[in-house]
Amino acid sequence: MSYNLLKGKRGIIFGALDPNSIAWKTAERVHEEGGTFVLTNAPIAMRMGQINELAEKTGSQIIPADATSIEDLENLVAQSMEILGGKLDFVLHSIGMSINVRKGKHYTDQNYEWTQKGTDVSAMSFHKVMQTLYKADAMNEWGSIVALTYMAAQRVFPDYNDMADNKAYLESIARSFGYFFGKDKKVRVNTISQSPTPTTAGQGVKGFDGFIAYADRMSPLGNATALDCANYTVTLFSDLTKRVTLQNLFNDGGFSNMGVSDSVMAEFVKE
Ligand code: NAI
């Protein structure tokens, strides 16, 4: 269902790799709600991905950018304003990557070069994106910036590895930069903490099937899907959430406030 919530709004969507990507679903929903945007992803991901299909479907242009490169980001922001015909109203940062996770390197045995690369891609890139937008004065007043995160930033999920630390850093950047963006430009900055979701990045986490099944059974409403996340993001891009900022917002079916559920408890109770 469409409510025209983003009619006339312009933005940039990072991180749509394939139809499972949360950013892909978000692009589809933003388009349905009347928003226009530029799609971007790392040049390497573009060669492997299906982003052209999404661009066609949503009438969008694609600008490749490595989110760790200031030069790429400056070019992206300048070109996006030109293509879209003005300043931006929304930006989605949907980027995550850990080489330690990908290569099965245990948390207690990190390759620190990989750790640093993962931190740059998954967390510092959010600062870089915001600093580039801020310096270019590229956001309209009452604009909205959203990044995606996971609850391993607050609680221990052993197999989430160094991504847990990256997410804690990402959430902190949202608050710290969100202060300046709010005070100086009237722009809001939030993170959405999403349920485990079967995407390329998600499925890279060791034991993901167990992880997602456990979360589903713990959550009174079950896991939030990628589409649920897209819908939540649409509300945060809309004018209906104008003074929501500096928040880490859980979109997780209630998981984050659970101790134990009947369904999980049943596994441990002997008849
Ligand atoms: P995905 O694999 O579809 O998306 C990750 C994206 O990051 C890809 O499009 C990839 O190309 C992009 N990326 C990697 N390096 C980049 C770089 N240097 N520059 C620009 N883009 C780069 O997976 P998903 O799950 O849609 O991930 C989106 C976000 O959601 C990530 O921040 C992830 O950590 C977060 N998230 C995912 C959950 C899950 O279970 N899938 C749960 C909670 C949060």
For the Cβ of 231 lying below 6 angstroms from any atom of ligand 1, the answer is no
For the Cβ of 223 lying below 6 angstroms from any atom of ligand 1, the answer is no
Cα separation, 197 vs 224, in Å, equals: 8
User: What atom of ligand 1 comes closest to residue 95's alpha carbon?
Assistant: 7
User: What atom of ligand 1 comes closest to residue 195's alpha carbon?
Assistant: 42
pLDDT (0 to 100) of residue 55: 97
Give the mutation target among 21, 102, 219 for probing the ligand 1 site: most ligand atoms within 8 A of CB. 21
Q: Does the interface ipTM go beyond 0.90?
A: yes
Cα separation, 107 vs 270, in Å, equals: 34
Q: Which two tokens stand for residue 218?
A: 């713990």
pLDDT (0 to 100) of residue 245: 98
134 is catalytic: no
pLDDT (0 to 100) of residue 239: 98
In the predicted model, residues of the chain with pLDDT beneath 70 are none
Query: Which distant-in-sequence residues (6+ apart) come within 8 Å of 250 by Cβ?
Result: 151, 192, 193, 256
What 3-state DSSP class applies to 160?
helix
pLDDT (0 to 100) of residue 270: 78
For the Cβ of 148 lying below 6 angstroms from any atom of ligand 1, the answer is yes
User: Does domain 10-207+224-258 correspond to CATH entry 3.90.280.10?
Assistant: no
User: What atom of ligand 1 comes closest to residue 163's alpha carbon?
Assistant: 34
What 3-state DSSP class applies to 82?
helix
**Torsion-angle region of 13 (φ positive above 0: left; ψ -120 to 50: alpha; else: beta):** beta
Angle, CA of 250, 252 and 254, to the nearest 5°: 90
Among residues 3, 107, 134, 150, which one is catalytic?
Answer: 150
Residue whose CA lies nearest to ligand 1 atom number 8: 15
For the Cβ of 151 lying below 6 angstroms from any atom of ligand 1, the answer is no
160 is catalytic: yes
Model confidence over 67-109: pLDDT tens digits? 999 999 999 999 999 999 999 999 999 999 999 999 999 999 9
Among residues 3, 107, 112, 160, which one is catalytic?
Answer: 160
Q: Name the H helices within the chain.
A: 22-32, 43-48, 51-58, 70-84, 99-102, 112-119, 125-135, 163-185, 200-203, 208-218, 226-237, 262-265
For the Cβ of 253 lying below 6 angstroms from any atom of ligand 1, the answer is no
Instruction: Give the number of other CB atoms < 10 A from CB of residue 200.
Output: 15
pLDDT (0 to 100) of residue 103: 96
Cα separation, 263 vs 154, in Å, equals: 24
CB 73 within 8 Å of CB 128: yes
- Is there a binding annotation on residue 95? yes
pLDDT (0 to 100) of residue 206: 84
CB 44 within 8 Å of CB 95: no
